[in-house]
């Protein structure tokens, strides 16, 4: 399977101290990848690096085989955290907001046509918000606002969807609904998803690939079907985690590589019981686990 | 000949004077473009940028009067420099980016204050403080007309880009909107509009016209598009109403225009309040 996101030996620091160090990570087409880690460990920094907002101090990032210099023209959709709350005071209808996601299709200095309006309606329908298309964004609940923001991203037909803690600040029911929509997009529309989240319990069962930036956050029992990659990360000055070791073996540093490739624990594959990191392709299986179906298989 | 005289007599008194016809025409054009730019400005959370630019324009006026060139040209040049300085300082200050507006405004006021001391004709300088919409020359009227066409065309062509940048600049950039270019065009348009408007309605009043009609429109509008339209409506009504009232009651036009727009804001807030109450009572 083709790698759509490939991070190689990437390090980054806002000062001379590195937050992320020698991170190697790849996301294949059709993956539902999740980035987890404690506060201040560099999850959002990782997203900014993937979006080209920040440049890595060392190493490289490639998107769909092209070295990342700018995201213009790439098929990436981005949903930031609390994106809806920022819009609460903005006097725009849901339809107007979703139409802005069609910018690339309409083009600079051109006017949207009937097709674009139809496309915006389709995107709103996908997130079950079509009936609210004439409502002001500020009149909606946090969960509804987040779905409208997702519709805006979807209107642009992204191949890759990057989400930075999309479930923060919304109620449990809305979280389930949002994750269900993402799962549907991943399975039916073949959209590759990379999501930063704290909510391992909710998002974990959907993921088939996990980048773990801090040991404490990586609760493997919640990630039954995922290939887990441990990255070498340092915390921000106020964060909690100082240094990350390979969680699957006790032989030290994973250096941001998959455990199979960890130089320090070459015997992982044979002697360590965690050596075999299963990569399940069957994401329906993960979905069933989330909804209580197929529980026995997962157990 | 007699027919023409009769026709003039049949016109309302205010339209019988050429200077008032010109003032109404210029006021109408300016009120529309100021509302369009103001809508973007308010939603980019840069409401005070109008204040900074209009005060900086006074430094340009003083410079023009001192050096002996057209004060409007001086105001435009200084406004453009001030507008780009705000952008540069904003990026350098990071989390305290709002200070950029205050720094540029203070610099503008300081320079204007010092330079105005050297201006021989203080009446000329003072006319820029509160404007002199009824003393507009035909050159200024033509300038406003050309500028208005350019600003309106740019606003219509860049409508969706400006909407997207105002709503979410980072997402707009990721979607391929040339944010830097659009922001630069918007900055130049704003600077030029503010310097022209400072001459007509006054430097101390132009910033109010950029913000108050938009604030009024936001109270009752049900979309971004209608916010622009309502803001333009309030701005036009305030300007024309202000000119008419000031003509018949002998008031200062600039101040009257702003006070009418504030009255619109209060009325629209009341409408929004009662509409909200009726909606919630229906809901109950």
CB-CB: which of A71, A91, A93 is closest to B174?
A71
Q: What is the pLDDT of residue A43?
A: 83
pLDDT in tens, chain B (284 residues): 556 666 666 677 778 888 888 888 888 999 999 999 999 999 887 778 888 888 888 888 888 888 888 888 888 899 999 988 988 888 788 777 778 888 999 999 899 889 888 877 776 777 777 777 777 788 888 888 898 999 999 999 999 999 999 988 888 888 888 888 998 899 889 888 888 888 777 877 888 889 999 999 999 999 999 999 999 999 999 999 998 998 899 888 888 999 999 999 999 999 999 887 655 544 43
HSE, side-chain direction, 13 A CA sphere, residue A126: 27
CATH architecture of B2-275: Orthogonal Bundle (1.10)
Same domain, A137 and A36: no
* Cα gap A259→A251, rounded to integer Å: 11
Same domain, A26 and A165: yes
Residues of chain B contacting residue A101, judged by C-beta atoms under 8 Å apart: 175
| Residue A258 CB contacts under 8 Å (≥ 6 apart), including other chains | A24, A227, A229, A277
CB-CB: which of A86, A87, A106 is closest to B160?
A106
Tokens in use for B176? 């391929």
Note whether A121 and A133 are within 8 A (CB).
yes
Average pLDDT, chain A: 71
pLDDT digits (tens, 9 = 90+) for A74-112: 678 888 876 666 677 788 999 999 998 888 888 887 888
- The single residue listed with the structure tokens 């190697």 is A24
Q: Give the residues across from A36 on adjacent strands.
A: A212
Q: Mean pLDDT throughout A156-182?
A: 85
Binning pLDDT at 50, 70 and 90, where does residue A173 land?
confident
Tokens in use for B112? 């204007």
Which residue, among B44, B174, B268, B280, would best test binding to A if mutated, counting the most A CBs under 10 Å from its CB?
A: B174
- B165: closest chain A residue by CA: A100
Number of domains chain A is built from: 2
- The answer as to whether A217 is a domain residue is yes
Degrees to nearest 5, angle at CA A123 with A118 and A61? 125
Last residue of a domain, one of A119, A136, A158: A158
Q: Mean pLDDT throughout A192-206?
A: 83
Out of A44-58, A115-129, A164-178, B3-17, pick the least confident: B3-17
Q: What is the pLDDT of residue A158?
A: 87
Pick the residue with more confidence: B213 or A59?
Answer: B213
Binning pLDDT at 50, 70 and 90, where does residue A249 land?
very low
Q: What is the pLDDT of residue A270?
A: 33
- A50: closest chain B residue by CA: B174
Q: What is the pLDDT of residue B110?
A: 92
Q: What is the pLDDT of residue A243?
A: 31
Q: B264 to chain A nearest CA, in Å?
A: 18
- The single residue listed with the structure tokens 């300088």 is B125
E-state strands within A128-191: 160-164
b/e burial code for range A119-154 (CB count within 10 A of at least 16 → b): bbbebbebbebbebbebbbeebebbbbbbbbbbbbb
Highest mean pLDDT pick, A176-185, A195-204, B85-94: A176-185
* Cα gap B195→B202, rounded to integer Å: 9
Query: Listing from the earlier edge strand, what are the strands of the sheet with A32-36?
Result: A76-79, A160-164, A192-196, A32-36, A209-212, A227-230
Q: What is the pLDDT of residue B9?
A: 65
- The answer as to whether A83 is a domain residue is no
Note whether A21 and A11 are within 8 A (CB).
yes
Pick the residue with more confidence: A295 or A53?
Answer: A53
The verdict on a CB contact (< 8 Å) between A80 and B43 is: no
Same domain, A109 and A257: no
* In chain B, alpha helices (H): 2-10, 18-43, 49-67, 71-93, 99-116, 122-130, 138-157, 159-167, 169-174, 179-200, 203-220, 224-249, 253-283
Q: What is the pLDDT of residue A298?
A: 33
Quick check: A222 pLDDT over 90?
Answer: no
Degrees to nearest 5, angle at CA A231 with A230 and A236? 130
The verdict on a CB contact (< 8 Å) between A73 and B166 is: no
| Residue A75 CB contacts under 8 Å (≥ 6 apart), including other chains | A64, A157, A158, A159, A160
Same domain, A17 and A137: no
Same domain, A60 and A192: yes
User: What are the boundaries of each domain within chain B?
Assistant: 2-275
Same domain, A43 and A24: yes
E-state strands within A64-141: 66-67, 76-79
Percent of the residues in chain A that have a pLDDT greater than 70, as a whole number: 67
User: A5 by DSSP, 3-state: which?
Assistant: strand
The verdict on a CB contact (< 8 Å) between A134 and B177 is: no
Q: What is the pLDDT of residue B230?
A: 96
Quick check: A70 pLDDT over 60?
Answer: no
Distance set, CA A74 to CA A10, A50, A155, A188, B216 (Å): 21, 12, 15, 21, 40
Note whether A182 and A77 are within 8 A (CB).
no
CATH number of domain containing A178:
3.40.50.300
Same domain, A258 and A179: yes
* Cα gap A200→B50, rounded to integer Å: 47
Q: What is the pLDDT of residue B266?
A: 96
The verdict on a CB contact (< 8 Å) between A136 and B222 is: yes
Q: What is the pLDDT of residue A262?
A: 36
Pick the residue with more confidence: A174 or B220?
Answer: B220
Q: Mean pLDDT throughout A195-201?
A: 82
Same domain, A227 and A112: no
**Closest C-alpha to A30, from A65, A3, A68:** A3
Last residue of a domain, one of A125, A141, A158: A158
Quick check: A266 pLDDT over 60?
Answer: no
Q: B238 to chain A nearest CA, in Å?
A: 22
Degrees to nearest 5, angle at CA B234 with B228 and B237? 135
Same domain, A41 and A116: no
* Cα gap A191→A159, rounded to integer Å: 5
Q: Supply the range of the domain harboring residue A253.
A: 3-75+159-298
Quick check: A253 pLDDT over 60?
Answer: no
CB-CB: which of B43, B158, B167 is closest to A100?
B167
Q: What is the pLDDT of residue B225?
A: 94
Q: Give the residues across from A26 on adjacent strands.
A: A6
- Overall pTM surpassing 0.80 (yes/no): no
Report CA torsion sign: A20, A25, A29, A35.
Answer: negative
Same domain, A105 and A242: no
Same domain, A214 and A112: no
Binning pLDDT at 50, 70 and 90, where does residue A216 land?
low
Same domain, A164 and A288: yes
User: A212 by DSSP, 3-state: which?
Assistant: strand
| ipTM reported for the complex, 2 dp | 0.79
Tokens in use for A87? 């819009």
């Amino acid at each position: 399977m083709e790698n759509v996101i490939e991070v190689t030996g990437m390090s980054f620091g806002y000062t001379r101290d590195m937050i992320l160090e020698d991170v190697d990570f790849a996301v294949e087409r059709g993956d539902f990848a999740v980035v987890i880690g404690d506060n201040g460990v560099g999850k959002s920094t990782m997203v900014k690096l993937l979006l080209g907002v920040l440049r890595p101090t060392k190493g490289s990032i490639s998107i769909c085989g092209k070295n990342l210099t700018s995201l213009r023209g790439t098929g990436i959709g981005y949903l930031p955290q609390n994106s809806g709350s920022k819009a609460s005071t903005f006097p725009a209808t849901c339809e107007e907001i979703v139409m802005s996601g069609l910018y690339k299709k309409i083009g600079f200095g051109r006017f949207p046509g009937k097709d674009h309006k139809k496309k915006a309606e389709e995107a709103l329908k996908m997130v079950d918000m079509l009936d609210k298309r004439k409502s002001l964004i500020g009149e909606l609940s946090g969960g509804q606002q987040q779905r409208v923001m997702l519709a805006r991203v979807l209107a642009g037909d992204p191949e890759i969807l990057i989400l930075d803690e999309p479930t923060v600040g919304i109620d449990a029911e809305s979280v389930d609904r949002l994750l269900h929509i993402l799962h549907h997009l991943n399975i039916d529309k073949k959209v590759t998803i990379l999501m930063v989240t704290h909510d391992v319990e909710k998002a974990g069962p959907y993921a088939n690939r996990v980048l773990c930036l801090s040991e404490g956050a990586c609760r493997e029992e919640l990630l039954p079907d995922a290939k887990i990659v441990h990255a070498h990360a340092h915390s921000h000055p106020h964060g909690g985690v100082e240094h990350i070791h390979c969680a699957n073996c006790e032989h030290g540093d994973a250096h941001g590589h998959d455990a199979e490739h960890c130089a320090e624990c070459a015997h992982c594959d044979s002697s360590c019981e965690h050596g075999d990191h299963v990569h399940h392709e069957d994401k329906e299986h993960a979905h069933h686990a989330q909804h209580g179906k197929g529980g026995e298989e997962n157990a | 000949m007699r027919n023409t005289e009769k026709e003039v007599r049949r016109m309302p008194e205010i339209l019988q004077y050429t200077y008032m016809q010109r003032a109404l025409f210029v006021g109408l054009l300016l009120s529309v473009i100021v509302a369009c730019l103001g809508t973007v400005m308010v939603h980019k959370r840069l409401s005070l940028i109008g204040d900074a630019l209009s005060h900086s324009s006074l430094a340009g006026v003083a410079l023009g009067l001192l050096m002996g060139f057209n004060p409007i040209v001086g105001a435009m040049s200084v406004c453009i420099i001030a507008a780009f300085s705000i952008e540069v300082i904003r990026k350098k200050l990071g989390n305290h980016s709002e200070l950029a507006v205050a720094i540029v405004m203070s610099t503008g006021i300081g320079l204007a204050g010092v330079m105005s001391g050297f201006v021989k004709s203080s009446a000329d300088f003072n006319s820029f403080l509160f404007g002199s919409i009824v003393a507009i020359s035909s050159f200024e009227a033509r300038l406003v007309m050309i500028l208005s066409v350019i600003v309106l065309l740019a606003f219509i062509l860049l409508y969706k880009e400006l909407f997207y940048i105002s709503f979410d600049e980072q997402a707009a950039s990721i979607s391929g909107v040339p944010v830097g270019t659009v922001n630069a065009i918007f900055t130049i348009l704003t600077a030029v509009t503010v310097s022209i408007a400072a001459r007509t309605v006054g430097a101390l009043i132009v910033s109010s016209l950029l913000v108050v009609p938009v604030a009024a429109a936001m109270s009752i509008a049900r979309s971004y598009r209608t916010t622009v339209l309502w803001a333009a409506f309030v701005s036009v009504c305030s300007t024309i109403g202000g000119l008419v009232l000031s003509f018949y009651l002998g008031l200062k036009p600039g101040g009257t225009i702003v006070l009418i727009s504030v009255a619109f804001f209060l009325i629209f807030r009341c409408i929004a309040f009662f509409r909200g109450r009726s909606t919630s009572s229906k809901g109950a």
